[in-house]
Amino acid sequence: MQLLKLNKMEVGIYPGVEELAQRVSDEMIQQVIGKKSSVICLASGDTPKRAYEIFVQTIINQSVSLAEVLFVGLDEWLGIDQTNTGSCYSFFEERIVKPLGLPEDQFARFDALATDSREQCFAMDRLIESRGGIDLMIVGIGMNGHIGFNEPGSSWTSATHVVSLDETTQTVGQKYFQQKTEVSKGITLGLGQVMTSRKLILMASGERKAGIIQKTLQWPISEDLPATIVRRHPQSMVLLDRQAAGML
Ligand code: F6R
């Protein structure tokens, strides 16, 4: 592993996806062992899949109790049914909730079909607040530099909100669905919540992320490039495989 320091922030570069995933899983394990009532917010998407697999296996093998942990899903496609395999709900159901046998209320996710999506936002904010805030947040990065569904130009102080997804997100997002699916709106935790999480891990892998990672770490910090928030966060890490770090 190669370790860079950017101001105080750790940038870890791993030989491949497996080593990267192992490190992220280790961080998650450390978190749930160190604080039994941790609140952990997780992104879905392709990048963290292997990390979650290793995490689940480790929890099972080592019989770690998650009884007091609250997991929170970072975002969701509005209007997409929970049973749709492209939904974030289903992603977590199949990868974390079912394999760990977690009670549904231990993994807070958005109801993408709710008639009042603003109430969904308030309910998520209230829940997180009532649990004392987010301890660990694991996020990926979009091709446009988004975090969660916080698209370029999003406010850095926002709480949970509904978003009109930009064209890149709508186009790239098709990869999660079995057939062409309209995804023009999303619901997401805000960058204010990213910023106030006690620990933030941004992970990226693959050559196609190299350009946006280079901008995130080397371009000016700006709301136009939401992922640059990692450089403002007091306790953040950027964990990459060698390909995603290829342009640094
Ligand atoms: C998904 C999410 C998104 C993804 C990002 C990268 O819950 O919050 O911001 O993390 O679009 O997606 P992948 O990992 O599929 O490249």
Q: What is the mean pLDDT of each run of 10 residues along the chain (248 residues)?
A: 80 97 98 98 98 98 98 98 97 98 97 95 98 98 98 97 97 96 97 98 98 97 97 97 97
Residue of the CA atom closest to atom 1 of ligand 1? 44
135 catalytic residue (yes or no): no
| Closest to 55 measured CA to CA, from 92, 103, 1, 88 | 92
What's the confidence (pLDDT) of residue 4? 78
146 catalytic residue (yes or no): yes
Whose structure tokens read 């320091």? 5
81 catalytic residue (yes or no): no
Instruction: Using most ligand atoms within 8 A of CB, pick from 47, 78, 243 the residue to mutate for ligand 1.
Output: 47
What's the confidence (pLDDT) of residue 8? 78
Q: Which 3 state secondary structure label does DSSP give 68?
A: coil
- Cα(150)–Cα(142) distance, integer angstroms: 10
Enter the pTM of the model. 0.97
- Cα(34)–Cα(179) distance, integer angstroms: 42
Contacts of 125 (CB under 8 A, 6+ apart): 159, 160, 193
Residue 44 C-alpha to ligand 1 middle, in angstroms? 6
- Cα(243)–Cα(40) distance, integer angstroms: 27
CB distance 185 to ligand 1 below 6 Å: no
Residue 75 CA neighbour count, 13 Å, CB half? 34
